[in-house]
Amino acid sequence: MALAFTRDEYRRRATKVRRQMENRGIDVLLVSDIANQFWLTGCEGWSFYLPQFVILPLADEEPMWIGRAMDVPGARRTGYMSPDRVHPFPESHVQRPDRHPCDFIGNFLGDLGYSGKRIGYESDAYYFSPRGFRSLQAALPKAVFVDCDVMVNWERAVKTEAEIAYMRRAAATAARCMHTAYELIAPGVRQCDVVGEIYKLQMAGDPELSGDLTGLCPIILAGEAGTTAHPIWSEERFASDQPVAIEVAGACRRYHAALCRSLYLGRPPAPVTDTATAVEEGLARVLEAVQAGVTAAQVHGAWQAVLDRHGMKKDSRIGYSIGVGYPPDWGEHTISLRPGEDVVLESGMVLHIVIGMWLERFGLELSETVLVGEKRAECLTDFPRELHVKALA
Amino acid sequence: MALAFTRDEYRRRATKVRRQMENRGIDVLLVSDIANQFWLTGCEGWSFYLPQFVILPLADEEPMWIGRAMDVPGARRTGYMSPDRVHPFPESHVQRPDRHPCDFIGNFLGDLGYSGKRIGYESDAYYFSPRGFRSLQAALPKAVFVDCDVMVNWERAVKTEAEIAYMRRAAATAARCMHTAYELIAPGVRQCDVVGEIYKLQMAGDPELSGDLTGLCPIILAGEAGTTAHPIWSEERFASDQPVAIEVAGACRRYHAALCRSLYLGRPPAPVTDTATAVEEGLARVLEAVQAGVTAAQVHGAWQAVLDRHGMKKDSRIGYSIGVGYPPDWGEHTISLRPGEDVVLESGMVLHIVIGMWLERFGLELSETVLVGEKRAECLTDFPRELHVKALA
């Protein structure tokens, strides 16, 4: 499989991260976040159900990968580094009470000369556990562990042209999924059958490139589950006179673009159309506010003004940075659009802006994945935003 | 959505776990493993990308759930407990450097009276991070945290009839996926298109019950990726004269049954048929060895004898306990079939026995999900085991 990016792009990424390591006086960075691992090395595979790390030395050397022995060939095949930078922990360390892969990995770091050094680690990344951390500390009692959580994530926020190209493909897949959902959702149809068709489109990707499993699963708010934020589909059938909200993404080479839309099966009553109007207006105002130089809080302010005018309330953030993702998330855990966030948006950032209203009786969602530009934001998908009314025969 | 099990079954599960808590002198158990949470409460939703816990008091009270505020309605709808046992952490704690959901959750435990108590926790569960643990400890400085990793998992090992019924449905889905893979895989077909059809079947489940996203993704060993254990599909096309190994599961109400098979596009050469024969023979011997009363190591011994006879080598375990799973895994992290494991098999345990050989030039896999019985093992799927040879026109 060809690398998703040029070796130079991977090297530039490492350089960006090393600059941060230098600022924090870190000798070596232990990357446990799988999305960060992929971004830094290209290493790909479903091996992260066991501990695995990318080791990035401050010195200008290629990153290393260490993971389960049987997954070493996969990492060698997919990573940009030379094969001798990919190392196994032995099969004897898989899921045992008496030893842990991080015992071995800690000793491995010691052998590399990092025993007395400052080791950066990601304290809140998925798939890095308290036990794993404890094992590392026990193996390296003289090392100083420095919390570098989301440090690499922040370096991912501004995308390159090559990354944006994958996200555009992902956005096209998301739009295809949404079109199919619009087409298939009808009274009597089972939720799970629609979700199955969505997965099929997600994996197929486009005629040139395959798609990936998205960080979040497709989410359908309908019927009983209509008022909850992240329900799992079931065999429940769609019914007439029902609002349905759909949240779906496409992923290409792990880069995501997400899309939320809502539809109504039948003639929507006033509370639904009123909420839909407020949500549409809110998204429009928010999109107008997005451009390089404004803060995340300012973007949220545009939505708050609409909420206030309509006398509505919503506690949760209205967007976040999106990019490389693995289950269970596609957000980058950096930028959040909400009050008090003074991070300044830059050209090349990509945000998933979601206006979701989960009310007592129903839920509606509307979103765009947008590329921040100097003077405006560009939506990666061109898909009608209004509540899709499906007239019933 | 109806509960997957009776309230009595959930209560019996809590009682089993409390017995272990008593043995270890635990006052309250903090369950972070999502599969354990589901098993104990039925709470379901894609909300675990943020910290969430099931809190099981030693006292005979219903378990509690605590997670993101917007996901509280979902947990109330799906869990068996009364709604007042489901609690939010506020939206203000989502993904911030200055505070963590576990700060709030720690204080919540303190308010419940657990500040000076012995708190059990799961040190190596997915989705519980070092930072989360640190926050809990800081909020409860007088509490004693006791590592109860995989304690609940062990209670899941022996399945009830109701659980086995879901696994049988899951097994039927896995078989449908495998039939479709056999049908579709042909020279010129893209891997990702086959995977898409598999996902479609997985989600649709059966005419009565929907399917779920499986813990591991479908895995296809073919072409370039043929010698690696857990590759991700791509747009690569299958080619003639190629072995293809497929690992796939079905999941119903989160209960998994997995199945691995191998096929050959064209006329298989001797090294492939020889390996296939050894693998088939190995699986047959292993299945004969499985019954209540034997140890995990004894089961492995049956395979070792075959390996020795064929002069082959394999370091990794040949099976594990399977059941409730969420990405990234469907294994229960308890029983492993390998040398030195003296756990005794019991009736009602379910194992995924996988004979996978990843050789230098190709990989073959063969597996069964088996229910341990008093005198024998029952395969949950009835699917031909031999290397499927697809003659090319």
- Cβ separation B46–A127 shorter than 8 A: no
Closest CA to A81 of A158, A184, A10: A10
- Cβ separation A77–B232 shorter than 8 A: no
Res B224 pLDDT > 80: no
Percent of chain A with pLDDT over 70: 100
- Those of residues 105-144 in B touching chain A at CB distance below 8 A are 121, 123-134
DSSP A279-317: HHHHHHHHHHH-STT-BHHHHHHHHHHHHHHHT----S-
Judge contact between B190 and B219, C-beta under 8 A. Answer: no
What integer best gives the mean pLDDT of chain A? 96
Return the pLDDT at A125: 97
Report residue A1's pLDDT band, with 50, 70 and 90 as the boundaries.
Answer: low
- Cβ separation B190–A197 shorter than 8 A: no
Contacts of B201 in chain A (CB under 8 A): 196
Q: Residue B262 burial (CB < 10 Å; 0-12/13-18/19+)?
A: buried
Which tokens sit at B258? 């997995």
Judge contact between B354 and B365, C-beta under 8 A. Answer: yes
CA distance A374 to chain B (A): 27
Res A224 pLDDT > 80: no
Return the pLDDT at A84: 98
pTM: 0.97
Which one of B37, B48, B86, B129 makes the best mutation probe of the A interface by having the most chain A beta carbons within 10 Å?
A: B129
- Cβ separation B315–A196 shorter than 8 A: no
**Amino acid, single-letter form, for residue B15:** T
Q: Residue B273 burial (CB < 10 Å; 0-12/13-18/19+)?
A: middle
Judge contact between B367 and B258, C-beta under 8 A. Answer: yes
What distance in Å separates the CA atoms of residue A162 and residue A174, rounded to the nearest whole number? 19
State the Cα angle at A13 between A9 and A19, rounded to 5°.
Answer: 145
By Cβ distance, the residue of B48, B100, B229 closest to A70 is B229
Per the listing, tokens 């030693």 go with: B58
pLDDT tens, position by position, B252-278: 999 999 999 999 999 999 999 999 999
The topology (CATH level 3) of A7-155 is Creatine Amidinohydrolase; Chain A, domain 1 (3.40.350)
CA distance A354 to chain B (A): 14
Res B34 pLDDT > 90: yes
User: Count of CB contacts below 8 A, A vs B?
Assistant: 244
Report residue B315's pLDDT band, with 50, 70 and 90 as the boundaries.
Answer: confident
Distance set, CA A361 to CA A228, A234, A251, B73 (Å):
10, 19, 32, 12
Q: Residue A237 burial (CB < 10 Å; 0-12/13-18/19+)?
A: middle
Segment A19-32 mean pLDDT:
98
Q: Do domains A7-155 and A161-390 have the same CATH topology?
A: no
In the CATH scheme, what architecture does the domain B161-390 have? Alpha-Beta Complex (3.90)
Return the pLDDT at B226: 83
DSSP B260: E
- Element of type H or E holding B258: strand B255-265
Return the pLDDT at B106: 98
Classify A58 as helix, strand or coil. coil
Contacts of A69 in chain B (CB under 8 A): 315-316
Closest-approach residue (CA) in chain A for B71: A229
Res A393 pLDDT > 80: no
Domain segments of chain A as ranges: 7-155, 161-390
What distance in Å separates the CA atoms of residue B76 and residue B87, rounded to the nearest whole number? 9
Buried-state track A19-43, b at ≥16 Cβ within 10 A, e below 16: ebbeeeebbbbbbbbbbbbbbbbbb
pLDDT tens, position by position, A41-55: 999 999 999 999 999
By Cβ distance, the residue of A46, A124, A235 closest to B217 is A46
What integer best gives the mean pLDDT of chain B? 96
SS3 per-residue string spanning B83-147: HHHEEEECHHHCCCCCCCHHHHHHHHHHHHHHCCCEEEECCCCCCCCHHHHHHHHHHCCCCEEEE
Lowest average pLDDT, out of A127-136, A215-224, B143-152, B199-208, goes to: A215-224
Return the pLDDT at A329: 98
Q: Does B359 touch chain A (CB under 8 A)?
A: no
Report residue A360's pLDDT band, with 50, 70 and 90 as the boundaries.
Answer: confident
Closest CA to B158 of B58, B261, B57, B16: B16
Report residue A238's pLDDT band, with 50, 70 and 90 as the boundaries.
Answer: very high
Count of alpha carbons within 13 angstroms of residue B143, beta-carbon side = 30
Question: In residues, how long is chain A?
Answer: 393
Res B2 pLDDT > 90: no
pLDDT tens, position by position, B40-56: 999 999 999 999 999 99
- Cβ separation A328–B124 shorter than 8 A: no
Work out whether strand B363-372 and strand B350-358 pair parallel, antiparallel, or are unpaired: antiparallel
Judge contact between B54 and B63, C-beta under 8 A. Answer: yes
What distance in Å separates the CA atoms of residue B213 and residue B216, rounded to the nearest whole number? 9
Judge contact between A387 and A380, C-beta under 8 A. Answer: no
Closest-approach residue (CA) in chain A for B74: A228
Contacts of A88 in chain B (CB under 8 A): none
Which residues on neighbouring strands pair with residue A66, listed in sequence order? Answer: A53, A87
Lowest average pLDDT, out of A13-17, B273-277, B317-321, goes to: B273-277
Distance set, CA B189 to CA B193, B196, B242 (Å):
7, 12, 13
Judge contact between B258 and B248, C-beta under 8 A. Answer: yes
What distance in Å separates the CA atoms of residue A325 and residue A250, rounded to the nearest whole number? 11
Which tokens sit at A386? 């209004």
Closest CA to A158 of A381, A379, A344: A344
